[in-house]
Structure 1
Amino acid sequence: MSKKSLADFDFETGEVLLVDKPLTWTSFDVVRKVKNALRIKKIGHAGTLDPLATGLLILCTGKKTKEIDLIQAQEKEYTGTFRLGETTPSFDLETAVDMARPYSHLTEQQIQAAVAPFLGLIQQTPPLFSAVKIDGKRAYEIARQGLEAEIKSKTVEIKAFELTRIALPEVDFRIVCSKGTYVRSLARDFGLGLGCGAHLTRLVRTRIGEYRVEDAFTLESIQALRPPRPGDEQRPARAERPGTAPNRAGLQYFAALQADALAVQARQAAEEAGAKAENDPE
């Protein structure tokens, strides 16, 4: 079955639109971008993705917004990477590493065996850096103020959990889970089970029910459908939000990691240019 063209969508009447969410964008960022680009009056998303997660984000427009709860209730599939031996307060790269422990003694058999306790119905405590509400406030608002709060555990179901690559300290995985499962919490609990700690470094949502990320549209392709507006030819070009904008999402540690990586690349390029200059004849 061929992929439906964006030009054939009737967004005002109602559509289910699959979007491949970019890194560091919040789910609300994507909703706002699509709403403004296509001038859609009624639009919402069916299941939040964290800023540092990518992959399938489902948007519903018009009459299809009535299906949001139904879509959100369907099982989810994710792939990603845990990093063993280090923990962070947010359980991912949003915040800096706060503890490091040895991990090199772990065998592949021990790591694979640590999966079993997380299959089926389990009790899970959501991260403080999450959208869970505590006394009317989002938990992440409390966390980013440096405050503590108690979050109650809840029952979730892990239907499938497999490790697809072990290259210490990294462990790649695939999971299928119920609504309300926090993969970041799974990273924390998996690390606790191994006694070395862990945090999430990569997460891609690949499926919600029968909807798959392979059928999702990029924001660039959606933006290309933006209808012309009166006066566009005289209006100066609007600065688009960059592909990664950590400060908008409060991702200080991730921003620092990106800056360090860019600095290393610049230093290596300068060293290579210097070496080439020395070796080239006059």
Structure 2
Amino acid sequence: MSVGRRRNNGRKVDGILVLDKPGGCTSNEILQRVKRMFGAAKVGHTGSLDPLATGVLPLCFGEATKFSQYLLDSDKAYVVKAKWGEKTNTADADGEVVERCATDGLTRELLESTLPDFRGGIEQVPSMFSALKHKGQPLYKLARQGLEVEREARKVHIVQLDLLDFDTEHFSLFVACSKGTYIRNLVEDIAVAIGNLAHVVELRRTWAGPYVESQAKTVEVLSETLELGGHQALDQLLLPLSSSVDHWPCLTLSESSTFYLRNGNPVQVPGAPLDGWVKLIGPDEEFIGVGELQDDGLVAPRRLISNCN
């Protein structure tokens, strides 16, 4: 190998895998495992799930990493099961119980009457056991050192909040919410609102942005696919890059508009919306990236894939 030549660290793989994350591992741990299975050079995820959590975790391969931020910013949904009468230092079953209380007087009607207060816009103070950073250090690392720092409340939006199941030991909720929502905090706050304690014992993400649970592939399915068909078979499980923004307005460009956009120039596109973000399709019906409407009505390129013509 000549001096200065970069070592090949993996295959060029482009696309999105909807992974069914297993419990008991971090999002990064399972990402690295899947990356090795694919032999891929570049993979990123679109928002961490707690080690306890399972479910939809979109993984972006290669060029798809350019669009991971839009998935990170999207709404998500969860089914959460919580245990009454106990508070833990992490707000979930992975932590240590720090406080207990009686569960006498809890009723389904009492819980249901409290839920409307947590729908719509609410504020949350992030847990010390979160990935938010304080002076460059993740809060959870500080928490493990026994340290606590002041955290500002953050505004989030609870799109949907429904009670699925209830008894005096556990309750289960369906939650659809904006990015940055901490389900552990939500469970704790709901319990406190009715004079009790609770922590998360099960958490499953059922959708994230445009991706739903039925699309998710388990690690076991990936392993079987690799064994039977190798990398070629695994690649067939990837969704196209465009799937990350399929819910956006779509504009089809002429050959000349595509050329100018590819060179960083805003263009006029007939039928474009007045504002917002758009999915861009080239003259050969290939996905070329995303753009944003400017105040002057022109479409400006924002993220373009590099392998389009």
Q: TM-score, length-normalised on structure 1?
A: 0.75
Whole-angstrom distance in 1 between the partners of 2:161 and 2:31? 30
Structure-2 residue corresponding to 1:104: 104
Structure-2 residue corresponding to 1:84: 84
User: How many residues are aligned here?
Assistant: 219
CA contact (8 A) 1:44 1:65 kept: yes
Change (3 A) 1:121 1:223: same
Residue type matched to 1:196 in 2?
A: N
Whole-angstrom distance in 2 between the partners of 1:104 and 1:24? 32
Whole-angstrom distance in 1 between the partners of 2:203 and 2:155? 22
Residue type matched to 1:211 in 2?
A: Y
Structure-2 residue corresponding to 1:47: 47
1:69-148 paired onto structure 2 within 5 Å: 69-148=69-148
Higher mean displacement: 96-105 or 177-186: 96-105
CA contact (8 A) 1:88 1:98 kept: yes
Query: What secondary structure, in the 3-state scheme, does the structure 1 residue paired with 2:157 have?
Result: strand
1:89-238 paired onto structure 2 within 5 Å: 89-224=89-224, 225=226
CA contact (8 A) 2:125 2:153 kept: yes
Whole-angstrom distance in 2 between the partners of 1:95 and 1:41? 35
How far residue 106 of structure 1 moved from its aligned partner, in angstroms, is 1.9
Whole-angstrom distance in 2 between the partners of 1:228 and 1:16? 18
CA contact (8 A) 2:107 2:168 kept: no
CA contact (8 A) 2:108 2:167 kept: no
Residue type matched to 1:61 in 2?
A: F
| Matching of residue 58 in structure 1 with residue 58 in structure 2 | yes
Deviations 1:132-175 (A, max 9, x none): 10111001101111211222110000010011111112001101
Whole-angstrom distance in 1 between the partners of 2:215 and 2:104? 40
List, as ranges, runs of 4+ consecutive aligned residues in structure 1 with deviation greater than 2 Å: 226-229
Higher mean displacement: 217-226 or 110-119: 217-226
Whole-angstrom distance in 1 between the partners of 2:53 and 2:144? 19
Query: What secondary structure, in the 3-state scheme, does the structure 1 residue paired with 2:176 have?
Result: strand
- Please give the root-mean-square deviation of Cα atoms over the aligned residues, in Å: 1.6
Structure-1 residue corresponding to 2:32: 32
Q: Which has the larger radius of gyration?
A: 2
CA contact (8 A) 1:81 1:200 kept: yes
Structure-1 residue corresponding to 2:295: none
Residue type matched to 1:178 in 2?
A: S
Whole-angstrom distance in 2 between the partners of 1:153 and 1:94? 24
Structure-1 residue corresponding to 2:15: 15
Gaps of 5+ in 1: 1-10, 230-282
How far residue 228 of structure 1 moved from its aligned partner, in angstroms, is 7.6
CA contact (8 A) 1:34 1:223 kept: no
Whole-angstrom distance in 1 between the partners of 2:183 and 2:221? 29
Whole-angstrom distance in 1 between the partners of 2:152 and 2:40? 37
CA contact (8 A) 1:88 1:96 kept: yes
Whole-angstrom distance in 1 between the partners of 2:179 and 2:67? 15
Whole-angstrom distance in 2 between the partners of 1:92 and 1:31? 23
How far residue 40 of structure 1 moved from its aligned partner, in angstroms, is 0.3
Structure-2 residue corresponding to 1:274: none
Change (3 A) 1:228 1:222: closer
How far residue 71 of structure 1 moved from its aligned partner, in angstroms, is 0.9
How far residue 210 of structure 1 moved from its aligned partner, in angstroms, is 2.2
Residue type matched to 1:101 in 2?
A: C
Higher strand share: 2
Structure-2 residue corresponding to 1:246: none
Residue type matched to 2:203 in 1?
A: L
Residue type matched to 1:76 in 2?
A: K
Query: What secondary structure, in the 3-state scheme, does the structure 1 residue paired with 2:97 have?
Result: coil
Whole-angstrom distance in 2 between the partners of 1:193 and 1:158? 16
Higher mean displacement: 11-20 or 161-170: 11-20
Whole-angstrom distance in 2 between the partners of 1:97 and 1:181? 23
Residue type matched to 1:193 in 2?
A: A
Residue type matched to 1:194 in 2?
A: I
Q: TM-score, length-normalised on structure 2?
A: 0.68
Q: Which structure is richer in relative contact order (CA contacts within 8 A, separation 6 or more)? A: 1
How far residue 13 of structure 1 moved from its aligned partner, in angstroms, is 4.2
Whole-angstrom distance in 2 between the partners of 1:14 and 1:175? 31
Whole-angstrom distance in 2 between the partners of 1:108 and 1:218? 35
Whole-angstrom distance in 1 between the partners of 2:102 and 2:230? 58
Whole-angstrom distance in 2 between the partners of 1:108 and 1:37? 46
Higher mean displacement: 190-199 or 172-181: 190-199
Query: What secondary structure, in the 3-state scheme, does the structure 1 residue paired with 2:79 have?
Result: strand
